[in-house]
Every structure is written in C-alpha cells, then in structure tokens.
Amino acid sequence: MKTLDTKLNRRSFLKASALAGGGMMLSFSWLVGCKPTEEEILTMPEEWFQLNSYIKIGENGAVTLYSPNPEFGSNVKTSMPMILAEELDTDWKNVFVEQADFYPERYDRQFTGGSQGIRQGWTPLRTAGAAARAMLVNAAAQSWNVPVSEITTSAGHLEHKASGKKAHFGEMASLAATLEIPEEVTLKDISDFTIIGTSKKNVDADKILTGKPMFALDHKVAGMKYAAVVHPPAFGMRLKSFDKSSVSGMSGIKDVFPVSIFKDDYARHFFDTTTFPELIAIVGDSTWEVMQAKKKLVAEWEEAPETTFPMAGRGGSTITSTVPAGLENSTIHKQKMAEYIQKPGNVVRRDGDPEAAFAQAAKVLERTYTAPFLAHNTMEPINCFADVKADKVEIYGPTQAPEAIMGALVQALEMPQENIQINLARMGGGFGRRAYSHHMVEAALISKKIQAPIKMVYTREDDMSAGVYRPTYSATYRAALDEDNNLLAFHVKAGGIPETPLHANRFPAGAIDNYLAEAWEIPSNITIGAFRAPRSNFIAGAEQSFLDELAEEMGKDPIEFRLELLKRAETNPVGSRNDYDPKRYAGVLELVRKNSDWNNPKSGVSRGVSAYFCHNSYVAEVVDTKIVDNQPLVESVFAAVDCGIVVNPDAARNMGEGAIVDGIGNAFYGEMSFENGAPTKRNFDKYRMIRHEESPKNIKVDFVESDVDPTGLGEPLFPPVFAALANSLYKATGKRYYDQPFAPQLEMENLRM
C-alpha cells in the first residue's frame, strides 16, 4: 500500500463547480455515435456528479471515466480508464469511457508518444481514482455516522459491515461531490488489483466495427466547406505564383488563396517541424470537387534559397535555425554518408583505450549498416476540421500533441490561447507523424479566411510527399578480437541525414572495457521527426545484427554471447552512465530462449534473435523464417517483453504483434527516396507496405511477470525485430543483410518477394 499526496497532480482535482463553466463535461458523445443497447439505457443516469476531472458518477451508480490522452491505436482509451477504475474500485461493467478534449488546466499530460502514456499516467490516474473513492467513503461515513476506517469498497459498492449498511457509489455521489478533496490518498496493493492485469476489450470496438464517425475525417457540421491544399513538388522549393483563374470556374470551387503558417518573428519550438509552411488552399463544396481542382491548378514554384528562422531555445532564449538550399538526391545522400563513415566523428563516449586495443588486435570485424528515409503512411491521411469565429476557435483533428501546436495556433490566428479549443479526434494511426500538427494551423487559417467551418483533407499523395520522415541512417561497427577470439574493443560510429541514431550509453556500452562511440550528422532540407522508436528503430537493427555476426566469429551461441556481456555489465560495469538494467535485459533473453525453445527450432525454419532496450522497456525477439517456393516467409515470431506491470494483457499483445509486423514490413520494403528534392513515392502503388500475405503466420508475445510500475510498450517491440529478421535470413540464405530494405537484395538473389 502506498500513500500519495494528491497535490502531486492538483490539476486533476478541479471541483465540479469549476467544470460546469466548461460545459464539455455534460456531452454524451457516445449516445450520438451509436444507438445505446438496452443495458446502456437502463444504466444511463439522470444526473451526473463530478468527483474530479477524470471521474463522474451517476445517481444510479454508472461511472464515466475521461481518458485524457489522444488515441492513435495504442488503446490508451481503454487502459487509462482501467487504471482509474481500479483505484476507484468500481465494476468495469458500469463504466462508460469518454475521450477528454484538450484541457491542460485539468489534465497532466495529454500527449501520446514516446511510449509514455501509461508510464507517466500511472501515478496521476491511480491517485485520481483513489481520491474519488476516498470522497465516496467519506460521504458514506458522514451519512451513516460511522468511522471512515470501518468502510470497505468493492466493485462500485460501499459497505459498513458492523452495522450492515450498504450503498452503491451512485447513492453517495451527490454528497461526495461536495466534500473536500482528501489531502492524502491510499493506493491499492498490487496484489489487490482486480481490473489491472485482466484483459478488457477495446471500449470503442462497437463503434469501430459498425463504421460510426470517430475520426476527424468523419466530422461534419452545417455550412461546412471542404478544403484541399497544394504544396511545392519538392523539398527545397517554394511557391512563386499561382493562377486562380485556372480553377475558379470549376464546379463547386469557392476560393483559392495562399496560406502561410508562421509569422517571421515567431520562435518555433521542437514540434514545430512542418514541411511546407507556405501552401495554396482550395475551398469548395465537396472533397471530390476540391481534389479535382487540385489537379488543374496552375502554379509556379521556385528553388528556395537558404533560409533561417528563430527557434525557441532553453530558458527563454532564441536561436537561429537554418534550412539549407538545394534539391537533394538519394544517390548523393548515399555517397555523402559513405564519405562521413571514413571521417572521424564526434566522440560521444570513450571507455578504456579503444585505439590501442584495435592496434593490437589479431582480427578486426568491421561492418556498415544503412537504412533509408521512411514515410509514416498513417492510414488516415492528414486532415483537420476548424471553425474560426471572431472570438472563438474550435479545432477538431488528429494530433498526438495538442499542447505542442498551441503556440503556432496562437501566433497564426493572433488570438489568445483561452479562445482556442482543440478537441481530440481518434487518429487513424500516428507513429510519431501526428506529433507535428501544423494541419491544425492550416485548417484554422483557411476557416478564418473564408469565415466558415471547414474540413481540410490531404490526398494520400500530399500526405506521403509532405512527410516529417524517419531520417536515413548509417552505422559502422568494429570489434577487435585477440588470437583466442576474445573481445578486446568495440567501436560504433553512427550518423544520418540530418541526425545521428547513436545511443552511446546503451548496451553493449558498459560490458566492454575498451569502447568508443562516435556520431556524425549531415544537414538537409528534408524534414524529419519522430517515427515509432526514433533512432532506436535503426540502431537496434544495426547493433543486434553486428552482435550476431560477432558471436558467430567468436564461435558462440548468439543468446549466450549476449548473456555473457550482460553478466559483465551487471557484475562489473564499465563506466557509470549505462542507461539499462542488465538483469532485466538478460531476463527477456532468457524468457525468449525458453518460450521459443531456442535450441530446438522446427525443422526447415531458420531462426535469428535480437534484443533491445528502449522507452524504459526490454524486449527480446526470435524470428523463424523459411524459404517456400523460392520466397522467404516469416513463419513465427516469439517476443519476450519486460515493461513492468501490464495493464491490459490482450491489448498489450495486440500492440506488440503490430509492432513486429510493422518492423518486418519496413525491414523488407520500407523506403522513401528523393530525386531533385521530390519524393519518388507518393502513393501505395510505389511505396510498398507489408500486406496480409507477407505477415508472419504466428506471433507469440510473452510478458515477464513484474511488480514494477509500467514502462513503454508501443515502441519497444519495433526496433529489435529488424535484426531478428536479418539474422534469421542469414541462416536461411547464407548471406548477411546490411542495407534496408532487404527485399531488393533478396530479389537479386532470385528470391520472390
């Protein structure tokens, strides 16, 4: 049991009176969206009582829980309310879940990304649930005139055993809502959990499976217009001019105008990455009509010179950020990266004397790994609804990070933040792309100009070619071995365009006496940003492929080799900045060894292993491939995960399975390239995505039993699978795979892909 000070997250405890002004808390959007079942009608209360920002309880015992974080498919809309419900001690059957809109004054952290939702929501959500429970208990104690300590709760009921008094939560809710918020609350023992750790179905399953409006793209209001945008055809280009008359006579077309989303003096911040801050907007009566006009619009583009803009630095300072000029090419990128591999990098970490160790090595193993730019390709293209009035702005759109776009909205609309309401739509995927939400500014400026509510929709081509891409990366690994194949030194030099993927303090740092990590970066005008497990999504594959080859060179089993290194890091670590726990790392390798029956693979399959730590979680994976009809197929994937306590196990497995499929897809096929600044792939006819036929046939995700507070899940299963696949393909084909995507190389080996 632990006691927590509710002041820790005071924002969650605004009283009902304060909330009434917002008005939002009384909306029952689930009723609009779908016909309630008989059971729901029975449980629909006549009156709600707000206990805090997350919880309201009806007089009949029904509970509404607000899920604070934006939902992009990681199922936080089910798992976050599960945590509230657990500490509230209610019955999950009586719970309705609603998506909270963006209210930074009410909620602690409305950001979906970095696999931090559950980890960072864990304590605030438990505290909010426990505080509401304490208020109900206090109300019962007052009503029954008995000591608080004698009242117990269970599944939405209060009981005073000595007197035989009982009530459901709804009977005490009106009084509880008037009571003081307790200064301290007691949290449950983990062993007393009845909801956390049990699998609950997606709370929105019925709406998803029957096609109810849930996404911003589905939103419509009376008088709404539709908008499309036209952006420059290539990175390094900008708008010169356009001919409005080329489309103004077309059916349904109302207006065409330029939109510029940043004022010159606005200091951009970290998430203010936007590909084309100036574009052309076309407004009309329907999506199809504005898309038709897009094709006909005559516009002239010009090469942009090198430009600079102010960027918000630390502590209120402003720095200048530079966007290079030029039309970039993937072939040149590759040449430049090859040059940087030969040059010294910036030393980020050095342990022992790696140079001396390499000088005396009997053998040096050196390998370079590369991966291309990747587009996020969320299934729902970028879109946004906006209704800008003189003194009030409503925005409804897909965003992982509403707080991060507010500054850009305030400067673009010249309106105070209090007048701008961002409502959170379910997202048709995110993967990092929607941490950059400038579609909200674009939509708002379009609405402001035409003085009507609008829905702006990107075509797939717009979405794919205006990316905030995963960068292209390269990593060169070297290992020094003595005559007896003992590992003397380890060297990694990693870079990319325009950022390095290096995590210098991760494994195997800490396990090797002589260690050197160097980084390099090449500037570019191609916009990049977070993509599921940024940087880890490349460096894990490179590192874990190299360790596989190194283990082979040393004549060791790849799991045993990693465990030996982890033992060294645990018992006698090198350096003090190692950012992983070697025991937990070893734990997932041991679990995957057992669950995959590592030493006894099924006949005909070739297996590879990989393990990685990121987003505070540990994952080991084994991939089994086989060649059928001259085609490599992924037969099975086994994953072992240590992410602390698992809130919703079946949904967690689903997330893990998806990350594995995503990784295999990108390893085989994922690639964005550029010619004269223009993305060469603009739709799914050219940009190959993994499909049903190429998906692994079986995936088994197992979790390490744990009482540790939850850590990340959405990302950690993604990075290691690249190497587990590559190592498995090596066993299947006898060839190592150093350059992603693997499919072109496999095709050159006359394998069908």
Partner 1 sequence: MAQFNLNINGKSRQVDVDPNTPMLWVLRDHLDLVGTKFGCGIAQCGACTIHLDGNAVRSCQLPVSAAQDAKITTIEGLSENGDHPVQQAWKEHDVPQCGYCQAGQIMSAAALLESNPKPSDEQIENAMNGNICRCGTYVRIKAAVKTASQKL
| Binding residues vs partner 1 (CB under 8 A) | 72-75, 199, 201-202, 204-206, 208-215, 217-218, 220, 226, 251, 286-289, 291, 377-381, 426-431, 457, 459-460, 650-651, 654-655, 657-662, 665, 683-685, 689-693, 695-699
What minimum distance in Å lies between the beta carbon of 642 and partner 1?
A: 21
Helices (H) and strands (E) in the chain, counts: 20, 31
Select 17 or 286, whichever has its Cβ closest to partner 1: 286
What minimum distance in Å lies between the beta carbon of 220 and partner 1?
A: 7
What minimum distance in Å lies between the beta carbon of 283 and partner 1?
A: 14
Residue 299's DSSP bridge partners are: 242
List, in sequence order, every beta strand (DSSP E) within 338-471: 346-351, 363-371, 383-388, 393-397, 420-424, 454-457
Cα–Cα distance list, 202 to 75, 399, 530, 662 (Å): 7, 20, 26, 21
Select 420 or 530, whichever has its Cβ closest to partner 1: 530
- The answer for residues whose C-beta is within 8 angstroms of residue 47's C-beta and 6 or more apart is 58, 59, 174
Select 160 or 682, whichever has its Cβ closest to partner 1: 682
Q: In what order do the strands lie in the sheet with 55-58?
A: 48-52, 55-58, 63-67, 95-99
Select 205 or 338, whichever has its Cβ closest to partner 1: 205
What minimum distance in Å lies between the beta carbon of 470 and partner 1?
A: 14
Select 178 or 698, whichever has its Cβ closest to partner 1: 698
Select 143 or 199, whichever has its Cβ closest to partner 1: 199
- Burial string for 663-699 (b: 16+ CB within 10 Å, else e) reads bbbbbbbbbbbbeebbbebbeeeebbebeeebbbeeb
Select 320 or 683, whichever has its Cβ closest to partner 1: 683
What minimum distance in Å lies between the beta carbon of 153 and partner 1?
A: 29
- Report DSSP letters for 579-643, one per residue: -S-HHHHHHHHHHHHHHTTTTSPPTT-EEEEEEEEETTEEEEEEEEEEEETTEEEEEEEEEEEE-
What minimum distance in Å lies between the beta carbon of 387 and partner 1?
A: 18
What minimum distance in Å lies between the beta carbon of 662 and partner 1?
A: 5
- Burial string for 235-269 (b: 16+ CB within 10 Å, else e) reads bbbbbeebeeeebeebebbbebeebebbeeebbbe
Select 300 or 685, whichever has its Cβ closest to partner 1: 685
CA-wise closest residue to 531 among 377, 717, 720, 713: 377
Select 244 or 460, whichever has its Cβ closest to partner 1: 460
Cβ 438 vs Cβ 398: under 8 Å: no
What minimum distance in Å lies between the beta carbon of 203 and partner 1?
A: 11
Select 239 or 293, whichever has its Cβ closest to partner 1: 293
Select 456 or 517, whichever has its Cβ closest to partner 1: 456
What minimum distance in Å lies between the beta carbon of 380 and partner 1?
A: 5
Cβ 255 vs Cβ 244: under 8 Å: no
DSSP state of 148: G
CA-wise closest residue to 541 among 733, 367, 303, 711: 367
Cα 433 from Cα 209, distance rounded (Å): 25
CA-wise closest residue to 378 among 433, 449, 415, 310: 433
What minimum distance in Å lies between the beta carbon of 574 and partner 1?
A: 37
Cβ 501 vs Cβ 477: under 8 Å: no
- The answer for residues whose C-beta is within 8 angstroms of residue 718's C-beta and 6 or more apart is 532, 533, 536, 537, 659, 660, 662, 663
What minimum distance in Å lies between the beta carbon of 16 and partner 1?
A: 32
What minimum distance in Å lies between the beta carbon of 121 and partner 1?
A: 19
Cβ 6 vs Cβ 132: under 8 Å: no
Select 459 or 610, whichever has its Cβ closest to partner 1: 459
Q: What is the longest distance spanned by two Cα atoms in the chain?
A: 83
Burial class (CB in 10 A: 0-12, 13-18, 19+), 158: buried
Select 412 or 699, whichever has its Cβ closest to partner 1: 699
What minimum distance in Å lies between the beta carbon of 288 and partner 1?
A: 4
